[in-house]
Structure formats: C-alpha cells, structure tokens
Amino acid sequence: SRNAILNPNKLLHAGNKYNWEGCVDIRNGDKLTSKASWGKFWLVEKNMMLFGEIHVTVKNQKKKLVCKIISTAGIRPGGY
C-alpha cells in the first residue's frame, strides 16, 4: 500500500457535507478531537482528476459526537 497523495501541492478542497443528526451542541470551552478515514475514490477521465471522500467524526472531551463530516478532495494529475 502507499499514500493516496504523492504531491500535496496538487490537492484541492472540493467541498464539505455536515451531518448534525444525533450530535450534541458545541459549548464554549469544549475540547474537540477529530478522526478521519478515506471513503470512496473516483477518477474523472476528462481531466484525469482523482476525487476522494474523507469521512471525519468530531467528538468532545466527554466522547460525545459533535458532528459527522464528509469532505471531498480533488487531486490533480501528478499528485496521485
């Protein structure tokens, strides 16, 4: 296996989707931690752009879920 991104200069942020269902409100003073993992990947052959989903969970110091995020990243040719 290898890293998904070989050249970080070719990485583009394409968007976020936020899911607040089942999450607690963020309060002043909360300490938040996030964990991320790669989801699906797809290639747009027209411009050879590789896209990938990054699944992120954010929890507070009490381990309560604060937010679920799916970020989409685009990687230009030469970056993957």
Q: Express each pLDDT in 31-44 by its tens digit.
A: 999 999 999 999 99
Q: Express each pLDDT in 14-62 by its tens digit.
A: 999 999 999 999 999 999 999 999 999 999 999 999 999 999 999 999 9
* Structural domains of the chain ordered from first start: 8-75 (3.10.129.10)
What whole-number distance in Å separates Cα of residue 32 and Cα of residue 50? 30
pTM as predicted? 0.83
Q: Are 40 and 51 in contact (CB under 8 A)?
A: no
Q: Is the Cα torsion angle 60, 61, 64, 65 positive or negative in sign?
A: positive
